[in-house]
């Protein structure tokens, strides 16, 4: 009686030589990458049905036997994914990293993380080093000022790259990002419905694509409400609480100060809340504040922060899934995925003060 065959132990080809069949042999026979074969062997749901069928036919035809112990040893290097983050001091990116790691670990990949600190040269060195150590792919939140030469180099590496949160204009790379313009427009419209007309935009790095998109949404809401834009109400600043403090102080020093502020991010809003109290303003009654991101700390300010939720852990999971699809099928071009935000109304917004 013929012994039962395992899941990946099909009929052997009688003309095949006796040497052990390798993953490379399977990839060549099925016309796919080694990474795709590895995903099929681990029963990953990320492989397309037709691609899986071709790999399983090659497994049956060549008589491949999966050595899981050897695969586990190889996985220490070949299944490593590099996560390159621009600012890990920002709590938002810590939440993003949690989503990334959960999704990668579930697919059998090990993630290595690096913080570039918004330094394009450091980013280049880290990416080249991780590539030399066999990274199967990159998840990249590009540093401000990333040069076109890095984009050109990445195109020559033949390693998939997915951008998250930010994107490099002109780069033919996949991206998973929130709809920044929509989110900031929703926030500005909320303030307009409360009667505010002098609305500041505080924080963000000038020239950064994310800052540009958020300001675009802010201006669109003002235009729709018939409010003439005032360039002095847009105050760039570092994306941290200190930047929020400096930006609010600058806006309150204007001859006609704002009655409300849209903040580039929640961490900027934390500084704005502190500076408001220091200036003798009672948030909600005297001055309204809206953040952006909805990190965990936004629920615990006094009062709790009204903000725009962009779901960082979900963004991380989506970016990881996009990268894994590219690893599984390098011929399937990556796409841009834009996630819709939500306005979370809490306690930092109120009607425009009567005296304003």
Residue 116, domain CATH? 3.40.50.2300
Please write down the HEC assignment for all residues of 165-202: CCCCCCCCCEEEEECHHHHHHHHHHHHHHCCCCCEEEE
Q: Is there a single domain that holds both residue 187 and residue 287?
A: yes
Domain ends where: 47, 74, 101? 74
> Does 95 share its domain with 26?
no
Residues 218 and 301 grouped into a single domain: yes
Q: Which of 123, 210, 127, 136 is nearest to 167 (CA)?
A: 210
- The answer to whether residues 7 and 34 belong to one domain is yes
3-class secondary-structure state, position 45: coil
101: its two tokens: 């790691």
What letter would DSSP give residue 36?
H
Task: Report the DSSP pairing between strands 80-85 and 137-140.
Answer: parallel
The pLDDT score that the predictor gives to residue 19 is 63
Nearest to residue 146, comparing CAs of 164, 128, 171, 114?
171
> Tens digit of pLDDT for each residue in 162-177?
999 999 887 888 999 9
Q: Do 170 and 80 share a structural domain?
A: yes
Q: Is 346 within a domain?
A: no
| Residue 134, pLDDT score | 85
Structural domain includes residue 291 = yes
Domain for residue 355, yes or no?
no
pLDDT, residue 67, reads: 62
Cα separation, 286 vs 354, in Å, equals: 9
Residue 237 backbone dihedrals phi, psi, to 5 degrees: -165, 165
CA 16/CA 14 separation, integer angstroms? 6
170 & 193 share domain: no
What's the number of domains the chain is made of? 3
Res 9: pLDDT: 41
Give ∠ CA 255-258-260 in degrees, rounded to 5: 170
User: From the CB of residue 257, how many other CB atoms can be counted at a distance below 10 Å?
Assistant: 18
Residue with tokens 């492989």: 47
CA 76, 331, 120, 320 dihedral sign is negative
Question: Is the residue at 347 inside a domain?
Answer: no
Structural domain that includes position 217: 180-311
**Residue 217 and residue 116 in one domain:** no
237 DSSP assignment: B
- Taking the C-alpha atoms of residue 260 and residue 352, their distance in angstroms, rounded to an integer, is 8
Please indicate, yes or no, if residue 172 is contained in any of the structural domains. Answer: yes
Q: State whether residue 41 is helix, strand or coil.
A: helix
Is 251 inside any structural domain? yes
Q: What are the DSSP calls for 239-296, one per residue?
A: SSHHHHHHHHHHHHTSSS--SEEEESSHHHHHHHHHHHHHTTPPBTTTBEEE-SB--G
Q: What are the backbone dihedrals phi and psi of residue 262, each rounded to the nearest 5 degrees, phi first?
A: -95, 125
Q: Is residue 214 part of a domain?
A: yes
Domain boundary among 74, 93, 117: 74
Per-residue pLDDT of the chain (356 residues; tens, 9 = 90+): 333 334 444 444 444 444 678 888 898 999 988 778 877 887 777 788 899 899 999 988 988 876 655 554 444 445 889 999 999 889 999 999 999 999 998 888 888 999 999 999 999 999 999 988 888 999 999 998 888 788 778 877 888 999 999 998 878 889 999 999 999 999 999 999 999 999 999 999 998 899 999 999 999 999 999 999 999 999 999 999 999 999 999 999 999 999 999 999 999 999 999 999 999 999 999 999 999 999 999 999 999 999 999 999 999 999 999 999 888 887 777 789 999 999 999 999 999 997 76
Determine contact, residues 356/198, Cβ cutoff 8 Å. Answer: yes
Same domain? 172 vs 87 = yes
Q: Which residues, other chains included, contact 29 with Cβ-Cβ below 8 Å and sequence gap of 6+?
A: 58, 61, 62
Residue 197's φ and ψ, nearest 5 degrees, are -125, -30
In a shared domain, residues 172 and 316: yes
Q: Are 201 and 236 in contact (CB under 8 A)?
A: no
Give the pLDDT score at 190: 98
Give, rounded to a whole angstrom, the gap between the first and last alpha carbons of the chain. 91
Do 165 and 224 lie in a common domain?
A: no
pLDDT of residue 106: 86
* Same domain for 103 and 54: no
Last residue within a domain, chosen from 20, 55, 74: 74
Domain-located, residue 351: no
Kindly report the CATH number assigned to the domain that includes residue 54.
Answer: 1.10.260.40
> Do 66 and 1 lie in a common domain?
yes
Q: Which two tokens stand for residue 305?
A: 């922060």
């Amino acid at each position: 009686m013929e012994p039962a065959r395992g899941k990946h132990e099909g009929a052997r080809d009688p003309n095949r030589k006796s040497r052990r069949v390798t993953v490379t042999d399977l990839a060549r026979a099925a016309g796919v990458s080694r990474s795709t074969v590895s995903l099929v062997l681990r029963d990953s749901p990320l492989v397309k049905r037709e691609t899986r069928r071709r790999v399983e036919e090659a497994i049956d035809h060549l008589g491949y036997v999966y050595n899981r112990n050897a695969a586990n040893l190889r996985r220490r290097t070949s299944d490593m994914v590099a996560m390159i983050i621009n600012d890990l001091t920002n709590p938002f990116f810590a939440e993003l990293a949690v989503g990334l790691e959960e999704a990668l670990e579930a697919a059998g990949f090990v993630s290595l993380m690096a913080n570039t600190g918004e330094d394009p040269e450091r980013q280049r060195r880290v990416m080249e080093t991780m590539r030399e150590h066999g990274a199967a792919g990159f998840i990249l939140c590009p540093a401000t000022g990333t040069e076109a030469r890095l984009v050109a180099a990445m195109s020559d590496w033949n390693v998939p790259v997915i951008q998250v949160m930010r994107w490099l204009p002109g780069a033919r790379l996949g991206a998973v990002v929130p709809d920044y313009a929509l989110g900031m427009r929703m926030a500005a419209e909320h303030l307009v419905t409360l009667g505010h007309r002098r609305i500041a935009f505080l924080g963000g790095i000038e020239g950064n694509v994310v800052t540009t998109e958020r300001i675009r949404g802010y201006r669109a809401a003002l235009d729709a409400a018939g409010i003439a834009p005032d360039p002095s109400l847009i105050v760039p600043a570092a994306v941290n609480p200190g930047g929020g403090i400096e930006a609010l102080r600058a806006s309150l020093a204007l001859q006609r100060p704002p009655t409300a502020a849209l903040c580039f991010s929640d961490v900027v809003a934390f500084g704005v809340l502190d500076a408001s109290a220091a200036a003798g303003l009672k948030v909600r009654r005297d001055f309204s504040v809206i953040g952006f991101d909805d990190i965990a700390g936004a629920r615990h300010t006094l009062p709790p922060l009204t903000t725009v939720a962009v779901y960082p852990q979900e963004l991380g999971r989506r970016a990881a899934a996009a990268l894994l699809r590219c690893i599984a099928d390098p011929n399937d071009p990556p796409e841009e995925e834009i996630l819709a935000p939500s306005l979370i109304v809490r306690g930092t917004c109120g009607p425009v003060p009567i005296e304003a």
